[in-house]
Amino acid sequence: MTVPSTPPTPRKLELRITSDPARLAEVRKAVEHFARVRGFDETAAGELGLCVNEALANVMRHAYAGRSDRPIIVAADERGANCVCVTIRDWGNGVDPSTLPRPKYDPLTPGGVGLICMQKLMDDVVYTKQPDGMLTTLMKRK
């Protein structure tokens, strides 16, 4: 029997975290690593990590109103050979940010670029209202 020289990579990543902003870097790094192992280049993996970071920050800030003890589940999986899908499940206020009016962008005012980044850098962003929160889905293709 031949032993593989590198261990197989898990086909799915699941992280159960609290809404503490201190968890953002850990999740971002895990998602970026997941994408790189699947053949995404540094730029694409970084874009995916940035968008997951922004989506999580929005959940923490808006859906959970800054509370740092609320649950969030982040899952990533392969969708064929050329796509990674990341879902973010929260139990917050259930507001779909894509339905809200966009304030005029002011580069001197912090915030307000997360949704723009997600729309520009992801191939697909879907918000699915749940009976008790929201499921955000981010898709990135190579």
The pLDDT tens digits of the residues spanning 43-76 come to 999 999 999 999 999 999 999 999 999 999 999 9
Is residue 9 over pLDDT 70?
no
The dotted CATH code for 12-101+109-141 is: 3.30.565.10
Alpha helix ranges (H) inside the chain: 24-37, 42-58, 114-121
Residue type at 114 in one-letter notation = G
| pLDDT confidence tier of residue 8, bands split at 50, 70 and 90 | low
Q: What confidence tens digit (pLDDT) does each residue in 100-139 have?
A: 887 777 777 767 788 889 999 999 999 999 999 999 999 9
CA distance readout (Å), 70 to 14, 27, 42, 50, 98: 17, 16, 31, 21, 22
Asked if residue 108 lies in contact with residue 55, where contact means CB atoms within 8 angstroms, the answer is: no
Dihedral over alpha carbons 93, 71, 137, 134 (to 10 degrees): -20
